[in-house]
Structures are given as C-alpha cells and as structure tokens.
RNA sequence: GGGCCCGUAGCUCAGUCGGUAGAGCAGGCGGCUCUUAACCGCAAGGUCAGGGGUUCGAACCCCCUCGGGCCCGCCA
C-alpha cells in the first residue's frame, strides 16, 4: 500500500502513542451514551452553564478541531448527531492537554467523559474531564466543509461518503426504516414473508436479459432471477393465500438514474382480492410510511416533502382519458397500429415500426403524461394491448385491470388483477415468444402447469424498493440509495 | 450502442493566448481560554487519470485507452 505524507504523519502519532505504553486501538468504551443524550441534557441549561451530577461518556468520530491556546473545541460525530467537546488545559493538566493536541487528528475515533454544558456562545457541549483514543485514523477524512463531492469516489468508497456525510447516513437509515415499516405493515395485514430462489434454471416474470452463471455440481447453466412473480404465484396455487417477498432481482441491462442491474423488489400476491383492494393496501402502506418517515427523519427536507405528499394521498387518473386529454388525440382504443405508430413518431418516439401496438401507446403516455405525474398518482386501466399479462377488465372492453403509481415522474409500482386462466396464460406466452427475441422472454412451462391446478383469483403488485427509498429521501439517482452500486473495473 | 462534458496536492477547486503549477481545507512548526468552515504567522506538499503525437516548449492542441457524469437509445 502506498502512503501519503499525511498518512505518514498519522502513523508517527500511532508510534508515539505506543511508545508511551498507550493502546491506539483499544477494545471497548463501556458506558457510552449517544450524543443526543448530552444535547437533551443541555436543553434546560443557559449559555455558559454546566450541568451537575455524574459525568457522562460519549464516543464518535472527531470531525473538526479548533484550538485556542489553553482551550480547544472539537466536534464529535456519532449516529445520533454532532456534539461539541470543550477540552481545557486547566481540567486535563498541561502535559495531558498538550499531548492530546499533538496526537489527535480529525477523523480519529475518540471517547470523552465529562459534564454537559452550554458554551458561552450557546453551543450544546460536553466539557471533557477525560479523553480516550478509541481508534486512530491513518487515512485523513475528506475536506470538512465540502466533504466528498466526486460521485465516483462516493460510491466506490462508500465508507468515506458515509463518515463524511450525515445526509448520506440519514438516507441509508431511511431506506432501512422504510423496509422495516413495510414488513410491519404487511405482516400486520396477514401476509406471509417468503424467500424464493435467486438462482434459477430459467428467469421469468418479465422481459429482461438475465445474468447467467453455472453450477459446477449440476453441470448446468443457471440464471439469476429477474422478478419474483412466477414462484410467488405458485405459492398461491399451493394455498398460502397472502405472500410477499422482498429480495434482490438482477437484470443484465444498462444502468441509469432509475435502473440498476441489481435492485431490490417487493412483490406481493393476495388471493381472493382484486386490484382495487390492492389500491387500498398501497394507500395504507404509503400513508403509514409517510407518518413514520415524518417522525424519524424530520430534518431531511426532501424526506419531509415526500412524507407530506404521501400523507396527502394519491390522485387517480385513467390511462386513456388522461392521455387523450393531454395529447389532444381522440378514440385511441379504436386506432389502428399504423395510426398509433404515426402518433408515436410525431411525439418523438424512435421505437421500431414493427413493435407491437401497445408499445406505441406506452411511448405516447411516457411523452404526454408521465413527466407531469409529480404528486403521488395512480394510473388505472391500461389498454389491453400494452399489458399482455394482466387479466382483462371485467366491464371495460379493451382494458385490463391494472394500476401503476408514480411520484415525481417516476414509476414506483405496478399492480394487476392477475391472470389465472392456464390456457390464456399459455397462449400469451406463446404470442410473446413469437413476437419477441427468444432470449429476452422466458416461457415457463412449470408455471403454466401450476395454473392448471387452479390459482385463486388474486391481485399482485411489484414495488421497487430502491425507488421507494429515492422517493422518500429525495435522492436524484438510484445509486444514492444503493450502498455499493455496480461500478466498472477494480476499486483501487 | 450514440452524443456532449469531466478527471490538476489527501479533500474542495482555480489555472488566461501553448512559456514549465496555484488557493482554501487537512497535515507540520509557532501563537492564541468561547470557537463552531475559528483566527494570525512560517514552511512543506504534484505521475496535471494513463499512453502516444504536434511543438523550441503541452495541464492546455490532436489521437488512443481507462474511469466517471448528463442526455438519448435499450429496458412489462
């Protein structure tokens, strides 16, 4: 490993520490409380006042040091926030005080013991009567004011991004809390969480190119799943009635601000219910998430805005009516594929002319409607030609029972009343195989056979967890909510 | 896959017309008992992403490679 001059200096301090018989990497720091506890105890104090009682112990990362001769101020970060330490020569003694200043650096992990106090300038603080080095940082932290800005460095060295950025820490905590609350909500609604296989012989349930790998034992090629749908529906056939899975899916496609080759999907299937029941479930889930996020992370402005938006509830629009209203086009369901192709062309689409007609309608919707779906919005009852795998609408010809929902122009989820007629399912698989490239569409015979045993009428939904996290944290890119997103080449 | 842009000190960034490298932070030394991007003084710190070319001379112009960002395409 190469070493910069800065690291050389810090190593020299470690050596000095050891030469004095002190351990630069001790084992523990018992009795420590979060810095938030100290801030709370400072609240009743006036500026310049110190709390009485037993001393308290805090631990965290040193972010900044401001040395003023015989008094020094240090900012200590822990997961609960930041706290100022006040270190005084008259409390530690001159030798200890000078020694600390010589050997401490920003980035070091330190423990401090002392009494809560509010500085004369009004800053909640801990007046240290004792300091301990808990782990020396050899590598210097990023610049204290701007932090780590380079997006590549931030994702390749996520640990540095996290230690330098309370916002980044908050975003990943938010993601974790969203998943936890989602589980609580679904468990409370009587759903069973299951885990199905990631490694499969044939990745189905969507139209995406799979990753492939090989089992040395089976001497067979395997694929990484692209969706959770087909195995979960087989569980409905098996009588599990209400199931969900939260798990990684993999699609061998390019990445952009809303797509990652490796992403986390929530899929949920609910027997004897339809897509209107699912709508109610989704509304309840997002209202609950909004409440919890509002409680947990009120300090993140984008999180507060999202929480408010979802607390206000969803708008509902009809796919065809909204598209016609915004585009000025009329009677879209009656148009020929050729007419739809011309409309899509006029709207700037470059999809191939021989695409299925549903593709042109999707492109028109993307062009005329999607960008304006900034508040939470359900889009209902898509044209059947855009959605070959949903159940046809019970009363609206040419439509399917489906909704998607959007926030800030981004699709967050997609729900159907599920197709459970085995013969129709077989027919649609066959049509797809004929219309599309073979390698992009799996024809899962075992799934069709499963439907022959009878799958109860059911509704299902897929919700992208990464996008959920983006929505609730205001992250502009999916990479901001994935701890270690795929990056080209070696991490140096 | 196509287009545009970016890569300079550990970090954040300047760098003019092609004339041989700058600041702030961090770190070192000195000063300072209420600062919070602390402040003041001194000194130090560079494979200008990598390679090739043009030129008397390249961080700067040209070509290639690597990595990244944005837009488009692809992607129920």
Closest alpha carbon to A267 in A294, A300, A306, A236: A236
pLDDT tier for residue A204 given thresholds of 50, 70 and 90: confident
Residue A383: C-alpha distances to residues A359, A367, A439 (Å) = 11, 16, 26
In angstroms and rounded to an integer, the radius of gyration of the C-alpha atoms of chain A is 29
Which of A344, A314, A352 is CA-nearest to residue A327? Answer: A344
Nearest nucleotide over every DNA/RNA strand to the A485 CA, judged by C1': B68
pLDDT in the model for residue A299: 63
Residue A224's beta-bridge partner residues? A199
Evaluate whether A76 touches A61 at the Cβ level (below 8 Å). Answer: yes
What angle, rounded to 10 degrees, do the helices at A445-452 and A422-435 form? 160
Rounded average pLDDT over A117-131? 96
A96-112 confidence digits (pLDDT tens): 999 999 999 999 999 99
Q: What is the helix (H) or strand (E) element at residue A62, kind and residue range?
A: strand A56-68
The CA distance from A347 to A363, in Å, is 8
Say how far A169 CA is from B41 C1', in Å.
Answer: 39
Q: Are A120 and A47 in contact (CB under 8 A)?
A: yes
CA A5 / C1′ B56 distance in Å: 37
Assess whether A48 (CB) lies less than 7 A from strand B: yes
What is the pLDDT of chain A when averaged over all its residues? Answer: 90
* Residue A431 approaches strand B within 7 Å at CB: no
pLDDT at A457: 97
Strand B contacted by A150 CB (< 7 A):
yes
Instruction: Report, in ranges, which bases of strand B sit under 7 Å from a protein C-beta.
Output: 1, 9-13, 24-29, 31-39, 45, 66-76
Q: Which nucleotide is nearest to A348 (CA to C1')?
A: B72
Q: Give the count of beta carbons closer than 10 Å to the beta carbon of residue A106.
A: 15
Residues 274-333 of A with CB under 7 A from strand B: none
Q: Does pLDDT of A220 surpass 60?
A: yes
The ipTM of this complex is 0.90
> DSSP 3-state helix, strand, coil percentages of chain A (rounded to 5)?
40, 25, 35
- Spanning CA of A483 to C1' of B26, the rounded length in angstroms is 26
Strand ranges (DSSP E) for A381-454? 402-407, 410-417
Q: Which nucleotide is nearest to A229 (CA to C1')?
A: B76
Section A352-368 average pLDDT = 83
Strand partners, A392: A400
Task: Give the Cα separation of A438 and A426 in Å (integer).
Answer: 16
Q: Do residues A96 and A49 lie in contact, with contact meaning Cβ atoms separated by under 8 Å?
A: no
Judge if the beta carbon of A119 is closer than 7 A to nucleic acid strand B.
Answer: yes
Confidence of residue A358 (pLDDT cuts 50, 70, 90): confident
Share of chain A above pLDDT 70, in %: 96
Determine the number of helices (DSSP H) and then strands (DSSP E) in chain A. Answer: 16, 16
- The answer, yes or no, to whether residue A467 has pLDDT greater than 90, is yes
A108 touches strand B (CB under 7 A): no
Q: What is the pLDDT of residue A40?
A: 96
- DSSP per residue, A174-214: HHHHHHHHHHHHHHHTTPEE----SEESS--SSS-PPPEEE
Task: Report the alpha-carbon distance of residue A258 to residue A252 in Å, rounded.
Answer: 15
Measure A31 CA to B17 C1' (Å). Answer: 65
Which of the 371-430 residues on chain A come under 7 Å of nucleic strand B at their beta carbon? 389, 414
CA distances from A132 to A22, A34, A77, A114, A425 (A): 10, 16, 15, 12, 67
Annotate A40-51 with DSSP letters as a single string. Answer: HHHTTPPTT-B-
pLDDT at position A441 is 61
Distance CA A207, CA A382 (A): 18
Residue A107 CA to nucleotide B58 C1', Å? 39
CA A420, CA A461: separation in Å to the nearest integer?
A: 15
Q: Which 171-200 residues of chain A approach strand B with CB closer than 7 Å? A: none
| Minimum-distance residue to B39 (CA–C1') | A68
Give the Cα separation of A43 and A25 in Å (integer): 34
Round and report the angstrom distance from CA (A60) to C1' (B9).
28
Cα dihedral A41/A47/A49/A53 (nearest 10): 0
Question: Using one digit for the tens of pLDDT, what is the confidence trace for A401-421?
Answer: 999 999 988 999 999 999 999
C-beta separation of A105 from A13 below 8 A: yes
User: For the CA atoms of A26, A28, A32, A34, what is the dihedral angle to 10 degrees?
Assistant: 80
pLDDT in the model for residue A491: 42
The separation, in Å, between residue A148 CA and nucleotide B24 C1' comes to 15
Q: What is the reported pLDDT for A492?
A: 36
User: Which tokens go with A66?
Assistant: 């401001």
Which residues, 6+ apart, have CB-to-CB distance to A19 below 8 Å?
A: none
Note the pLDDT tens digit of each residue in A71-82. Answer: 999 999 999 999
Instruction: In whole angstroms, give the CA distance from residue A391 to residue A65.
Output: 64
How far apart (Å, rounded) are the C-alpha atoms in residues A308 and A301? 11
Q: Which residue has the higher pLDDT, A294 or A195?
A: A195
Lowest mean pLDDT: which of A9-13, A81-85, A359-363, A463-467? A359-363
User: Lowest-confidence range among A154-168, A266-280, A348-362?
Assistant: A348-362
Cβ contact A156:A166 at 8 Å: no
Q: Is the dihedral of CA A239, A387, A422, A197 positive or negative?
A: negative
Helical segments of A369-443, H only: 422-435
What is the Cα A408 distance to its own chain's centre? 16
| Chain A window 15-34, residues with Cβ within 7 A of nucleic strand B | none
Residue A436 has pLDDT above 70, yes or no: no
Residue, of A88 and A347, whose pLDDT is higher: A88
Q: With a cut of 80, say whether residue A437 has pLDDT above it.
A: no
A263 with A249: CB under 8 angstroms? yes
A160: enclosing H helix or E strand = helix A158-164
Whether any strand B atom is under 7 angstroms from the Cβ of A9: the reply reads: yes
Which nucleotide is nearest, taking the CA of residue A416 and each C1'?
B76
- Domains, in order of start, for chain A: 5-141 (2.40.50.140), 163-314+375-481 (3.30.930.10)
């Amino acid at each position: 490993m190469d070493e910069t001059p800065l690291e050389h200096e810090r190593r020299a301090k470690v050596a000095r520490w050891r030469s004095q018989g002190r351990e630069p990497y001790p084992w523990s720091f018992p009795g420590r409380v979060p810095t938030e506890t100290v801030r709370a105890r400072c609240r009743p104090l006036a500026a310049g006042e110190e709390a009485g009682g037993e001393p308290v112990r805090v631990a965290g990362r040193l972010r900044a040091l401001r040395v003023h001769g015989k008094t020094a101020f240090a900012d200590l970060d822990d997961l609960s926030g930041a706290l100022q330490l006040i270190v005084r020569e008259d409390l530690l003694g001159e030798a200890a005080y000078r020694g600390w200043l010589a050997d401490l650096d920003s980035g070091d992990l330190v423990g401090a013991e002392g009494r809560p106090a509010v500085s004369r300038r009004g800053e909640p603080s801990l007046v240290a009567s004792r300091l301990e080095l808990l782990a020396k940082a050899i590598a210097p932290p990023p610049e204290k004011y701007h932090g780590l800005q380079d997006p590549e460095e931030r994702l390749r060295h996520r640990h540095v991004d996290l230690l330098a950025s309370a916002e980044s820490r908050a975003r990943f905590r938010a993601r974790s809390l969203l998943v936890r609350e989602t589980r609580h909500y679904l468990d409370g609604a009587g759903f069973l969480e299951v885990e199905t296989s990631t490694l499969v012989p044939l990745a189905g349930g969507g139209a995406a190119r799979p990753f492939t790998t090989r089992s040395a034992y089976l001497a067979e090629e395997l694929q990484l799943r692209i969706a959770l749908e087909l195995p979960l529906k087989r569980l409905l056939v098996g009588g599990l009635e209400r199931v969900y899975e939260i798990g990684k899916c993999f699609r061998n496609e390019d990445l952009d601000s809303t797509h990652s080759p490796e992403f986390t999907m929530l899929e949920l299937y609910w027997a004897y219910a339809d897509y209107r029941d699912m709508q109610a479930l989704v509304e309840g889930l997002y209202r609950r998430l909004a409440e919890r996020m509002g409680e947990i992370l009120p300090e993140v402005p984008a999180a507060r805005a999202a929480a408010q938006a979802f607390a206000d509830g969803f708008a509902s629009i009809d796919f065809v009516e909204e598209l016609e209203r915004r585009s000025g086009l009329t009677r879209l369901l009656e148009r020929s594929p050729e007419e739809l192709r011309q409309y899509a062309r006029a709207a700037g689409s470059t999809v191939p002319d021989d695409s299925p007609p549903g593709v042109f309608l999707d492109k028109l919707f993307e062009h005329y409607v999607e960008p304006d779906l900034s508040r939470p919005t359900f889009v209902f009852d898509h044209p059947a030609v855009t959605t070959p795998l949903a159940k046809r609408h019970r009363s609206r010809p040419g439509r399917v029972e489906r909704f998607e929902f959007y926030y800030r122009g981004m699709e967050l989820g997609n729900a159907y009343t599920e197709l459970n007629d085995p013969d129709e399912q077989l027919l649609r698989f066959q049509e797809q195989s004929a219309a599309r490239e073979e390698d992009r569409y799996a024809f899962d015979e075992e799934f069709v056979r499963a439907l022959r045993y009878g799958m109860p009428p059911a509704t299902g939904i897929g919700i992208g967890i990464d996008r959920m996290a983006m929505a609730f944290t205001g992250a502009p890119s999916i990479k901001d909510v994935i701890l270690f997103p795929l990056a080209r080449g070696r991490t140096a």
